[in-house]
Copies of this chain bind each other. A is one copy, B any other.
Amino acid sequence: MASSAASHLSDLDYRLLRRSILLGRRGWGRVHPNPMVGCVVARGREVLAEGYHALFGGPHAETTALAAVENARGATLYSSLEPCNHVGKTPPCTEAIRGAGIKRVVYWAPEPGSAAGGGAEHLRRAGLRVDGPVGEWTDWAAENPFFFRDPDMHRPYLALKLAVSLDGYIAPGGGRRVWLTGPEARAEVHRIRAGFDAVLVGSGTWRADDPRLTARGETVPRVPPVPVLLDRQGQATRDLRALRREGAARRPIVVTAAGQAMRLQGSLGEEAEVVPVSQDRRGLDLEEALGALADRGVDTILCEGGGILAAALLDGGLVDRIYVFLAPCLIGAGGVPAFPVRPNGAGAADGTGGRAMPEWRSRLEPVRFGNDTLVVLDRGA
């Protein structure tokens, strides 16, 4: 699926394609399950209009950008996704492009779906010059991880978020709570949450922190993420902040051991949904838990810890992405390790590098948030 078009592209083409990708990101939290798409209409170096897909069900990036141009005749349209060729919630973008008199289309990622696909070929047959796709599947997937996910993966897409000190800890010992990261990084976490169907934490974390697990940043999610608590022992209580529904359409979810479910549902009342799964001596069966969440329409999960849950998910091969916020501080020995080595884990506990993660790849550029750095790691292709 690597591109043959790249050789035809100029520096300007790449710059405006890059711009279209960045514009597309504005749709995070608002367009799912659609992809994020951005678009630039330009005549040579002159940018005539920009647009992006802003809301699921709303106009596509291409039509938004074209609607803002008085005369696009002979112009070039850059899009981060192949223009769609089908009547869905909106008319096909290919028609809008032809109707506007666009002469050339440059796009980044192909439309993988058979229903909406074929736009590039359609436009070529209509006499337009079309350059794309550009780049590789792994890059498209890093940009739109839910949209380009492996269709054979029968579980929710799961991302892990960790704030890690320079020496690899997430917190001091003794259960004390500190903010490793600054306000800019915490704002970014709220933005990230807005793009997921659910925000998940293990029992150590909700006991220690009592987090709300809501997206309270500038990006207002179209559908708020549902809080999910793992609670093998059935100890969650009604007064937990994550279990306050606060007007959300969907009830928070508590995943517990099958033997605890009925009692726990009784004590939590109807404001929370209790989901029973099997357990073994290590804890809840995480694969079964993820499957049960998928059955309830949870396609994408952000897990925010703690370290034991994160390690179990990593060991189980259940993690698709890691958001690492690196904080410029030191915790010192005795802290809570971000990546504890489990005695029965896949790797070596003797520092022999057995738990190296050669399959993790850094595809997105790191970003600085105040003093902290966000590194996004995606499971390697």
Q: How far is the CB of A329 from chain B (nearest CB, A)?
A: 4
Q: A168-B168, A370-B362 are in contact. Are A173 and B352 (CB under 8 A)?
A: yes
Q: How far is the CB of A68 from chain B (nearest CB, A)?
A: 19
Closest B residue to A366 using CB positions: B366
Closest B residue to A45 using CB positions: B45
In the complex, A248 has a CB within 8 A of chain B: no
Residue of B336, B337, B353 touching A329 (CB-CB under 8 A):
B353
> Interface 1/0s, chain A 201-214, versus B by CB < 8 A?
00000000000000
Q: How far is the CB of A43 from chain B (nearest CB, A)?
A: 15
Which residues, 151 to 202 on A, are CB-close (under 8 Å) to B? 164-169, 172-174, 176, 178
Which residues, 314 to 366 on A, are CB-close (under 8 Å) to B? 324, 326, 328-339, 341, 347-358, 360-362, 365-366
Docked complex Cα distance between A165 and B350 (Å):
15
Let me know if A339 and B166 touch, CB within 8 A.
yes
Let me know if B351 and A331 touch, CB within 8 A.
yes
Q: How far is the CB of A159 from chain B (nearest CB, A)?
A: 15
Q: How far is the CB of A286 from chain B (nearest CB, A)?
A: 19
Interface SS majority for chain A = loop
Closest B residue to A168 using CB positions: B168
Contact count band on A = 35 or more
Closest B residue to A359 using CB positions: B328
In the complex, A240 has a CB within 8 A of chain B: no
Number of this chain's copies in the assembly equals: 2
Residue of A330, A367, A370, A373 with most chain B CB atoms under a 10 A cut-off: A330
Docked complex Cα distance between A5 and B332 (Å):
44
Q: How far is the CB of A61 from chain B (nearest CB, A)?
A: 23
Let me know if A368 and B371 touch, CB within 8 A.
no
Let me know if B333 and A349 touch, CB within 8 A.
yes
Please indicate the chain B residues that have their CB under 8 angstroms from the CB of A332 in the complex.
341, 347-355
Docked complex Cα distance between A68 and B332 (Å):
55
Residue of B166, B178, B362 touching A164 (CB-CB under 8 A):
B166
In the complex, A377 has a CB within 8 A of chain B: yes
Please indicate the chain B residues that have their CB under 8 angstroms from the CB of A169 in the complex.
168, 351
Let me know if B167 and A353 touch, CB within 8 A.
no
Docked complex Cα distance between A286 and B115 (Å):
68
Top 6 A-B residue pairs of the complex, sorted by shortest distance between their CB atoms: A168-B168, A334-B351, A173-B351, A335-B351, A366-B366, A330-B355
Can you list 24 contacts pairing A with B, beta carbon distance less than 8 Å?
Answer: A164-B168, A166-B324, A167-B168, A167-B337, A167-B338, A167-B339, A168-B338, A172-B353, A173-B350, A173-B352, A174-B350, A178-B353, A326-B373, A328-B357, A328-B360, A328-B377, A329-B358, A330-B347, A332-B353, A333-B349, A334-B352, A362-B371, A365-B368, A366-B375
